Amino acid sequence: MRTAVILAAAFTLAAPIQADAQTFPTDDSVIQRMWQVGIESSQTEELAHHLMDYIGPRLAGSPNLAAAQDWLLGLYAEWGVPARKEQYGTWNGWREGITHVDMIHPWVRTLEAKQLGWSPPSGGPVEGEVLPLYAVAMDADTSEWLPMVKGKWVLLMPPQPMCRAKQELEEGARPETVAKLDSLRSESQSAFWGWVREVGGRHVFGRIQEEGALGIINSMWSGGWGVFTPFRTWTDSIPSVDLSCEDYGLLYRLAASGKAPRIRVETESEDLGVVPQFNVIAEIKGTELPDEYVLLGAHLDSWHGGTGATDNGTGTIMMLEAMRILKETYPNPRRTILVGHWGVEERGRFPGSGSFREDHPEVMEGMQAAFNQDNGTWRIIELEGQGFADAENHIPQWMAAVPTEISEHVETPLPGEQLHGGSDHISFICADVPSFRLRSPYPEYRQYTWHTNRDTYDKIVFDDLAENATLAAMLAYMASEDPVRFGRERAELPVSERTGEPRSWLQCHEPRREAR
């Protein structure tokens, strides 16, 4: 009972603010009803709570991603929206267990750590000294430093000279101090990655492993207080762990000064072999033009450092909630409305959305417009025309129906410059399919939540998420009702600063359908 009260209070505090007197730019009853359902009766908090807090991170090949897909299918069934899983390939399955890293000498401290994706387990608690590889290997031959790794926990990378956020350092420190720290960071990182290339690139991990190291420890800092980004391992028999900037620096300084710190590491994980991978596709069938399509999209997978809240839980919830709004307010669309909850976006080459493009030429042929969302820290601020010449004849018309409370914050560069790649919308742009990114602001997202251990439910701004979902529903409605097909003629892209020539149109790549 007490827990229920606490949760109810939390959701009440997070609930979207209701406008006292919203002015609608049109007398369209569907738009007005969408506002009521999407803003005044938003379900984003409860949906996000289940996805992020209960299911958790959704690494490719993990049971959590499969659980999230099954949860989506169940929700769509409750809402009366036909949905299906479409297999497009396979991936390496992996189940993450506990990660414990403790410094036990010269004093005791539990360190903030996360094992890298697909890392082997430690096989119980393993104690040992740490080796600051950057300090001993940069000016040594391989034959000199490689034997040193045996029986050690290897600190692979150079430490950061400071773990203070850049903007705060620039505000409070002397300019010469900022310049010195920037130079130290640049020089050490450049030297390290140059050394990695010289000793064989990622094969250095295998050499360290074969030489008998206990494990490899990294620190991928994203530039903010207390954040780090654990990605994937390159080892297959010893564990790989990522530490916070602060804790990594502590170990490194002690080891480099000869203080011989010892740590105890315990990681649990399970290799699940090769497992099938899916997109989840939901559909509201068109009544007049069922073979023409409007597509909403967001990738469902995430990295595992946090719970994938803003990358891309918010995009997932946005499109999920948009479909709920559409089903309730626009159940008989003119064109067919689809949503794609894409798989494995985080591993590159966009296998989920790219495979959907390859597997459904009929949808590509009939596409009126696709809308994708990926970075979800704040409200949508841009809907770019992505270089399509016809964008100026449609996007302003669609946005004109959106209430000012939302539309006044959205810029619409037309025909657009294709400035923002790197997500699933480009799987369709490259095939001349009108596809648009609903973009949120980047700076804080990149620094604090993108792929980090702090990408969690509490970072979601639910006022914005409710508006974003409502905007997506309204855009889908307007694109569905548009009496004119969206043309596919390319506008000339702006001149590249690097070449002095107009930039090239995005090219399609064959989607990765299995792990490598």
List the Cα angle 118/123/126 in 5-degree steps: 110
Banded pLDDT at 4 (limits 50, 70, 90) = very low
438-454: pLDDT as tens digits: 999 988 898 999 999 99
Distance of CA 388 to the CA centre of its chain: 26
Tell me which amino acid residue 358 is.
E
Query: Is pLDDT at 184 greater than 60 in this prediction?
Result: yes
Instruction: Identify the pLDDT of residue 501.
Output: 86
50-92: pLDDT as tens digits: 999 999 999 999 999 999 999 999 999 999 999 999 999 999 9
- DSSP class of 430: T
313-331: pLDDT as tens digits: 999 999 999 999 999 999 9
- For range 159-175, the mean pLDDT: 95
Count the helices and strands in the chain (H runs, E runs).
Answer: 18, 13
Measure the CA–CA gap between 288 and 218, rounded to whole angstroms. Answer: 56
DSSP secondary structure of 217-235 = EE--B-SSTT-B---B---
295 forms bridges with which residues in the sheet?
Answer: 338, 370
Decide: residue 161, CB within 10 A, 0-12 exposed, 13-18 middle, 19+ buried: middle
Ordered by where they begin, the domains of the chain are 22-82+285-481 (3.40.630.10), 96-270 (3.50.30.30)
Distance of CA 325 to the CA centre of its chain: 24
Measure the CA–CA gap between 205 and 149, rounded to whole angstroms. Answer: 11
List phi, psi (to 5°) of 289.
Answer: -130, 70
List phi, psi (to 5°) of 34.
Answer: -60, -40
